[in-house]
Structure 1
Amino acid sequence: MAEALDIAIRLGVIVVAFLVLPLVVGQTEHKVMAHMQSRLGPMYAGGFHGWAQLIADGVKFAQKEDVIPAAADRRVFGLAPAVALVPYLVVLVVIPIGPGLLGVDLDAGLFFVLAVMGIGVLGAIMAGWASANKYSALGGMRAAAQLMSYELPLVLAASSVAMAAGTLSLPGIVEAWQWWWLPWQLIGGVVFFVAGLAELRRPPFDMPIADSEIIMGPMTEYAGMRFALFMLAEYAGIVVLSALTTVLFLGGWKGPFLSDGLGPLWTLLKVFILAFVVIWVRVSYPRLREDQLQRLAWTTLVPLALVQLALTGVVKIAIG
């Protein structure tokens, strides 16, 4: 009974975090982009610093009519937003935020996370196909091609840190992590973060939703709360990518002091710093062309990930 209650509490906390953290990141993106681009719009709703902007957006989405194209596959069309969103909730179950603070500790947690994260792109593919719109279909195909290109460097970079730690357990990787891993695994960390941005289809890797070419890609025919679910999935993906980068390459809950007591705070601080970097990159860099996107994956990120794997192997052999 006590064990079941403990599991229920853990899952409840994860669900609350899943609902709150992406909204916080979304609100932060509004404000950061407004400051960086000198836009005043997001500063009006609610008075002081536009504190009610997120509420205003929610009301706007709720009031919009839920339109489904006449030629659409209604079942697949309605299921696509959930398929895009739910994998990130599942991933959060195995991400540790502190010593012993996680939903489930899997021996092969890293493999589980990488496998589940790849499912989210199915939501974009389903939305593109089911919308009966050529722009949506093109966006879905671009999303699939982008996933296949960037999954390899993502997995290779994660494999290097798993090799260094000698385990596939996410808490085990954090426990094995040392400060000198920062320069040792730096290449892998950069490759993992960039490949993760591409899999999330965040700028400058937002070719599947290139508004100047294909409107909003797979989401072109979506409105109201269905569109809001896709937006929530995007921000949930930012949280998950930031959390995984923190766990694998930045020591998770480990900080310069009081790691045991302040572990969750260190984790959240690192996650929000990385989320800020994601927003910063969106504002700072223009969208890549499709050929540039593919070239970056195959001629830059994959070789760098292989270099990191080789370096990890050499160091592991040298230190015995």
Structure 2
Amino acid sequence: MLIGKPSDIVASEITPARLFRQRRELIKAAGLGTMMALGGWSSLGFAAQEKGQGRRPAIKSYKKTAYGQEEKLTSYRDITTYNNFYEFGTSKEQPAENAGQLKTSPWTISIEGEILKPRKLGIEELMKLAPLEERIYRMRCVEGWSMVIPWVGIPLARLVSLAQPTANAKFIEFISLADEAVMPGVRAPILDWPYLEALRLDEAMHELAILAVGLYGEVLPAQNGAPVRLVVPWKYGFKGGKSIVRIRFVEKMPQTTWMRAAPREYGFYANVNPSVDHPRWSQANERRIGSNLFTKRIPTLMFNGYAEQVAHLYSGMDLRKHF
């Protein structure tokens, strides 16, 4: 695998989209193109990742909600075998292949910074801060693909309220685990580790933002950010920090990981905005993972379709400048 300097690494160059197209052509040449077309993206060589990979333990108690009930879910297999999680590798298949060594229990999250009640929470304590809910959210990746995922988690606002931010707290950082012993990607200078993402405080308090601990009613798989990850459905997927070990309340806007790596391409807000292209490709439409080869790309919606709920957070802002 070719590894570049952090300034050289951008998502579109690492994603295997071109590789997938090449695979299709090779299979088509071998006379299997029709079979793949019928099977869709789910058929693109996931047998190796699924070998020996069982389902996760069920979450015993959570409440179904109305969020996303009208959506067609992406399959469990696609959700758990097509991932961006660079700590475990830069291709979409590598997280499922490499994350099996991640030990998620015991797990402690440090809540710190500009708050009145700093604390350390075990994952079991975190799950008891509020009743667990299933929320079906559309998720959009900056690279042009999307999924519909039935997350299980708690409102992020609940944790924020319990921490009691001071008047100085304006932003919240989410810092991921960076363990060279079990994360092969951390051993290479792909990004500036540990992975850091952040939200404005009012964004974090919005009802749509959650800390996810599961999907499809099961404990979160390691490759999807176990044991706890951030989910902010109106933003591009890279905002959702995975395997979080620290949550820190700060006064100044943080320089998040992708802002440091490629500031011209990745801004702080990362709101899904089809009218603002990535510097090297359009963001106007997307490919829903699981669709077959003949399915047309679908238009990308402002704020990923959650504009009615979140547009007021950015009233008066220039969304081309604050991208």
Give the alignment's TM-score, normalised by structure 1.
0.27
Give the alignment's TM-score, normalised by structure 2.
0.26
Which is greater in Rg? 1
Give the strand-richer structure, 1 or 2: 2
